[in-house]
Amino acid sequence: MTARPRDAADGPLLQVRGLEVHYPIRSGLLKRTVGAVQAVDGVDLDVERGTTYGLVGESGCGKSTLGRAVLRLTEPTGGSVRIAGEDVRAMGPEALRRARRQMQMVFQDPLASLDPRQSVESALVEPLRVHGIEGGPSAWRTRVRGLLDRVGLPAGAGAKYPHEFSGGQRQRVGIARALVLDPDLLVADEPVSALDVSVQAQVLVLLQELQADLGLTYLVIAHDLAVVKHMSTTVGVMYLGGIVEEGPSAQLYARPLHPYTRALLSAAPVPDPEAEATRERILLRGDLPSPADPPSGCRFRTRCPWVQPTRCADERPALRVVAGHSTAQRVACHWAEEIEAGTVSRADAA
């Protein structure tokens, strides 16, 4: 598989503005709507061409729903999604089908995402047939064999079925299927979470090599902070349906601003025994609130160690730049400056 020239047009490849995914809650014999599960609620993000945007957060924060909504695998209920300037939400069925060539997904569970009745070659040829790619069956099979070799699978892999592969090999098949239409954008939802650690590293290296060779743009969704740091150009931290902090990977990991980001990083082990023994752990109170009834104001306030009696419960903070930090790093916290300076007391202090 050879790289094709990517559109060098100005602006991000992916632009998301005010994206919402709300699932109605119905009750009674007439199934009246009595509320909504706010899985994704007002998300803005940009992904520049040829870069990787890493989306991180604990289970239940809405990151996988966001990834699926970007591709309209889950229908958004509000906001806009633009890929290469085209409004994905405004597309009809035929236009959306054609746009699928530009945007593909690598799923968390490769076995569940592959048809057990189809051989690997058949599964990879099918998208080429559906989209009417030029060349015909003989050229399609040649293309598939080259792609399987490119992702590190043996020559006979095309004739086998999904259950005949290991987990790492199945994920390589999933990556090959996502790449067979030569997309611009790849959404990878927990692409290595189901794999052994040694295999995780191999798959991550493969994804980086493919990005460098083919000019791909990635939206990587993960709960593993190490994976996100290793892969990402920009990192977005998600909590209860919204982005609470965003910035360049190295900068955000070195100097986190949001209390939730600080707590996540304090829970991640470091490979230095002395640093591990002396560094501060930030323990969060309680469980993640229900997205059907999120807290008023700042959604993190019910678990925040620095919650304050003013503003936190009354006003939902917007992403903003903090004085003294790069304009590329933004945080949704009313008290980010004071927390960093140590001028506000911790609510969980003894």
Paired tokens of 145: 């064999």
20-49 confidence digits (pLDDT tens): 999 999 988 888 888 899 999 999 999 999
- Is residue 316 over pLDDT 50? yes
Neighbours of 342 (CB within 10 A): 8
Neighbours of 182 (CB within 10 A): 17
268-286 confidence digits (pLDDT tens): 777 667 666 667 788 888 8
186: left (phi over 0), alpha (psi -120 to 50) or beta: beta
Residues in Cβ contact with 208 at an 8 Å cutoff, skipping those fewer than 6 apart: 231
Domain of 27, in residue numbers: 14-102+183-341
User: Per the domain annotation, does 126 fall within a domain?
Assistant: no
Identify the burial level of 280 via C-beta atoms within 10 angstroms of its C-beta, where 0-12 means exposed, 13-18 middle and 19 or more buried: exposed
- Is residue 102 over pLDDT 90? yes
Q: Domain with 248 in it: what CATH number?
A: 3.40.50.300
Calpha distance 248→330 (Å, rounded):
10
Quote the DSSP letter at residue 36.
Answer: E
User: Per the domain annotation, does 64 fall within a domain?
Assistant: yes
Residue type at 345 in one-letter notation:
S
User: Per the domain annotation, does 30 fall within a domain?
Assistant: yes
> How many structural domains does the chain have?
1
Return the HEC string of 152-191.
Answer: CCCHHHHHCCHHHCCHHHHHHHHHHHHHCCCCCEEEEECC
Q: State how beta strands 320-321 and 330-331 pair.
A: antiparallel
Calpha distance 275→350 (Å, rounded):
24
Q: Look at residue 9 in the predicted model and tell me its pLDDT.
A: 55
Coil vs helix vs strand at 13: coil
User: Per the domain annotation, does 336 fall within a domain?
Assistant: yes
Across 202-209, average pLDDT? 94
Cα 255 from chain centroid (whole Å): 22
User: Per the domain annotation, does 110 fall within a domain?
Assistant: no
Identify the burial level of 156 via C-beta atoms within 10 angstroms of its C-beta, where 0-12 means exposed, 13-18 middle and 19 or more buried: exposed
- Is residue 17 over pLDDT 80? yes
Across 80-108, average pLDDT? 93
- The pLDDT-based confidence of 10 (bands split at 50, 70, 90) is low
Quote the DSSP letter at residue 72.
Answer: T
Residue type at 46 in one-letter notation:
D
- Is residue 262 over pLDDT 80? yes
Q: Look at residue 350 in the predicted model and tell me its pLDDT.
A: 45
Q: Which residue has the higher pLDDT, 348 or 19?
A: 19
User: Per the domain annotation, does 202 fall within a domain?
Assistant: yes
User: Per the domain annotation, does 77 fall within a domain?
Assistant: yes
**Opening angle at CA 141, ends 138 and 144, nearest 5:** 150
Tell me the longest C-alpha to C-alpha distance in the chain: 72
Calpha distance 285→303 (Å, rounded):
5
H-helix or E-strand spanning residue 199: helix 197-214
Let me know how many helices (H) and strands (E) the chain has, helices first: 11, 12
162 half-sphere exposure, CB direction, 13 A CA radius: 19
Paired tokens of 64: 């996988």
Residues in Cβ contact with 90 at an 8 Å cutoff, skipping those fewer than 6 apart: none
User: Per the domain annotation, does 1 fall within a domain?
Assistant: no
32-36, 185-189, 312-316: segment of lowest average pLDDT: 32-36
Q: Look at residue 344 in the predicted model and tell me its pLDDT.
A: 87
Cα 261 from chain centroid (whole Å): 16
pLDDT cut 70: percent of the chain above it:
94
Q: Is the dihedral of CA 81, 265, 314, 337 positive or negative?
A: negative
Paired tokens of 32: 């009246």
